[in-house]
Structure 1
Amino acid sequence: MNTYIDIGINLTNKQFQNDIDDVVQNALDADVSQMILTGTSVRNSEESAKIARQYPGVLYATAGIHPHDAKSFDAQSISKLRNLLTQKHIVSVGECGLDFDRDFSPRNIQEVCYKAQLELAIEVQKPLFLHERAAFTRFMSITNEYLPQLPKAVVHCFTGSLQEAKMYLNNGLYLGFTGAISDSKRFDHLKEVIQYVPLDRIMIETDAPFMLPKNTPSNLLKKYHERRCEPAFLPFVAGTVAKFKGISLDKVAEETTGNARKFFGI
């Protein structure tokens, strides 16, 4: 039987506030055996940790400050994240990085916040869950300063170019792919990226409730929640990877699950 690990879900999102139990059960019924909640601020990371604690062995969480929330970064932030990361079910530092697309936080503050989290990951030796949008050059410049000491890192929700993918891979990073890969109108170039990236460097995620896979059957959307992405839809992300690579779904499930288990130590 295929099993999957969803490396990035946003269960704290208000779209899930009334049916977390159902969402988790839907995922388990769809053979998504483990899920990792994404922490995006100190407060959100604490909330994610609390939810994950209620589903031992099924839910895990990250602890970090998303570049959108970098403006909330203060003198206590790193010690609070460090405290969270002592917990066994908190498996990664992040989501952290740079976002020059939206600029919800000033760029200089984003950089300070990102560097502090890179240093924290080196200190606690837990892997990194990274975010980069429209900031590739600066992102790589900063990351390269720390690279020799960094633990493993995954660039989540990758939608960049083949050239960017090659640069990440050459620097030892993993890539996380979402339902965006099935959106041929917006992200047609990702077919070539998926074909290039070795399977042992790929992990899959839904980024639920966002990034709904275009190949999700309409009857499932009606059954659950129209237009809301769920971790139960992760097999459709895997299916697109299988299609693009010309390999079996079983192989994609086996490899991406193994990658995630090893990477996050779960």
Structure 2
Amino acid sequence: MLNKIIDAHIHLDLYDEHIRTKLLGELAASGVESLVAVSMNLESSQQNQKLAMQYPGIVRPAYGFHPEQELPSEHDVDKLIQWIEQHADQMAAVGEIGLPYYSRLETTERGEAWDNAPYLHLLDRLLALAARLDKPVVLHAVYEDADLVCDLLEKHRITRAHFHWFKGAPHTIKRMASQGYYISFTPDLLYEPEIRELAERYPKHLVMAETDGPWPFEGLFKGQVTHPRMVRDVIAAYGAIHGITPQQAETMLYANTKRFYY
């Protein structure tokens, strides 16, 4: 019998409907107990709410605004925050939220100016919301952005923070670990040296596994639709790094994820 596993971060609403229905129908056979379905914006949050109602106990929705897209108007932010407040009892976390590292990098590489202040303002508002609602946060924040996010987490006294697919400098890693922030690994743990090194260093009790589906992966996953069952491969790779069996790693990361999200 398979150990239960949890996909700690997936964009379930972004799959084509027929693929999503197929994936959800295969979860039980794969030993996937549940998914944390993060959102891109208000429409995405509403779609994930519907999926959570369709698949109670399996789809655990998080509501938020993903930073790697055009900024919403203040009016749209107000609407999103109001909607989240109205449906807070149904959600697992506020997310996905954070800072637009990749958009900023692409813009500056083109020689164009970038103003990070509006993104910091938006994140500040969403973190204030999470603090007010006493909800965990799911974060898109890598490299130097993670330090800015840590500053804001401390400002709002938020301790339940999940940095998904994290990459960062040693001093940032140390800071995050000391604050008890969680991170999660994707299937690139099987082939990315930088990610494997992070997996060696970060405290084991603060680690989860995710797919970030439908994002595609390389290595043995090349050409495959990203499926929540891939979490089991991630966990096995994590166990091998630490010299423990896949079953021991599954038990540990399952307990970590339940502790954070339930």
The answer to whether TM tops 0.5 is yes
Describe the SS at the equivalent of 1:86: helix
Separation in 2, partners of 1:106, 1:49? 33
Q: Kindly provide the CA deviation profile for residues 98-121 of structure 1, in whole angstroms up to 9, marking residues without a partner as x.
A: 122213895222111111111111
Q: Runs of 5+ in structure 2 lacking a partner?
A: 108-113
Bigger mean CA offset, 2-11 vs 99-108: 99-108
| One of 134, 143, 150 as aligned partner of 2:153 | 143
Equivalent residue number for residue 128 of structure 1: 137
Contact 1:241 1:252 (C-alpha < 8 Å) held by counterparts: yes
Task: Name 2:198's counterpart in structure 1.
Answer: 193
Q: Which whole-Å deviations, capped at 9, do the CAs of 1:130-162 have from their partners, x for residues lacking one?
A: 11134233333333322xx21411101123344
Instruction: Verify the 8 A CA contact 1:213 1:233 in the aligned structure 2.
Output: no
* Residue of structure 1 equivalent to 2:120: 111
1:63 corresponds to 2:63? yes
Q: 3-state SS of the aligned residue for 1:133?
A: coil
Q: What CA distance in whole angstroms lies between the structure 2 residues aligned with 1:152 and 1:141?
A: 14
Q: Distance in 2 between matches of 1:213 and 1:51?
A: 28
TM-score normalised by length of structure 2: 0.87
Whole-angstrom distance in 2 between the partners of 1:125 and 1:151? 10
RMSD between aligned alpha carbons? Answer: 2.0
The alignment covers a number of residue pairs equal to 249
Q: 1:209 to 1:19 in 2, by over 3 A?
A: same
**Aligned letter for 1:193?**
L
Which residue is equivalent to 2:27? 27
1:70 deviates by 6.1
- Paired-residue identity, %: 21
Which ranges of 4 or more aligned residues in structure 1 deviate by more than 6 Å?
none
Structure 1-normalised TM-score?
0.86
- Residue 211 of structure 1 and its aligned partner are, at CA, apart by 4.7
Q: Which runs of 5+ in 1 are unaligned?
A: none
Q: Distance in 1 between matches of 2:23 and 2:253?
A: 21
Alignment correspondent of 2:13: 12
Cα distance in 1, alignment partners of residues 73 and 118 from structure 2: 8
